[in-house]
Amino acid sequence: MCGRFTMALDALELQKELELGEMPLDWLPRFNIAPSQMVAVVIEPNKRDVSWMRWGLIPSWAKDIRIGSRMINARAETLEVRPAFRRAYAQRRCLILADGFYEWKRNPGKKVPAIPYHFYLNGRKPFTFAGLWEFWKSPNDEEIKSCAIITCAANPAVAAVHERMPVILGREDCWRWLEPRSTPELAKLLQPYSGEDLSLHRVSKLINRPEFDHPDCILSQEE
């Protein structure tokens, strides 16, 4: 799964790198984005404006907002059959902006805390996760847009730490993901990242605290 990620670039740099449209005026670099927090999302492939959504998809039929805490990730293999994601997969796909993500390495059979690692592209280049989004209205008529990150089997670089990873889309594939396409065409995009420019290093367990959002989160720690 993907439970934390980063988006540490400033708005203008990100806008230029990914050829985006309008950026939120309240943009701030983030080093420890956690579930239920707001994340930067693009839903339209032509204007490419960036907006905020809550991380943790809340299906339109949900009775309680708390279901979103269990819907931060959507498995690529089951998008067509899971009721929570099926309609969004067909009609409401999005890009979630990032420049890195965290995964935790566990030691089976040993009573020691999992070790966090930060994954990022060489040069700290930004990229996009394949995502889904939904519109939900609470019983009190509160309107919320929320999203989930799609995950797939890990590539060799990530597999040494965790068996799954977020779907990272390339520069061309990201806009294809937002366009009207058949299910077989979409499925071809939901593959493990194949680039050799994905790097990683161990980071501090401070990222286990959602409230800790600081550049120290991505600093390399000695093995």
Annotated catalytic residue within 2, 147, 174, 217: 2
In a domain, 199, yes or no: yes
Q: What's the average model confidence in pLDDT over 193-206?
A: 94
108 pLDDT band, cuts 50/70/90, is: confident
- The parent domain of residue 151 ranges over 4-218
Instruction: Flag whether pLDDT at 9 surpasses 70.
Output: yes
Instruction: Flag whether pLDDT at 101 surpasses 90.
Output: yes
In a domain, 165, yes or no: yes
Note the pLDDT tens digit of each residue in 143-166.
Answer: 999 999 999 999 999 999 999 999
Instruction: Flag whether pLDDT at 38 surpasses 80.
Output: yes
Q: Choose between 138 and 18: higher pLDDT.
A: 18
Number of domains present in the structure of the chain: 1
User: What share of the chain has pLDDT > 70, as a percent?
Assistant: 99
In a domain, 202, yes or no: yes
* Average model confidence (pLDDT) across the chain: 94
Q: What's the average model confidence in pLDDT over 184-191?
A: 96
The domain that contains 210 carries what CATH number? 3.90.1680.10
Instruction: Flag whether pLDDT at 109 surpasses 80.
Output: no
Whether 2 is a known active-site residue: answer yes
Q: Which of 74, 57, 73 is nearest to 65 (CA)?
A: 57
Q: What's the average model confidence in pLDDT over 36-64?
A: 96
Per-residue model confidence (pLDDT) at position 223: 58
Whether 152 is a known active-site residue: answer no
Per-residue model confidence (pLDDT) at position 167: 98
User: What share of the chain has pLDDT > 90, as a percent?
Assistant: 89
Annotated catalytic residue within 19, 77, 103, 143: 103
In a domain, 16, yes or no: yes
Cα 192 to its chain centre, rounded Å, is 14
In a domain, 223, yes or no: no
141 pLDDT band, cuts 50/70/90, is: confident
In a domain, 77, yes or no: yes
In a domain, 209, yes or no: yes
Per-residue model confidence (pLDDT) at position 112: 75
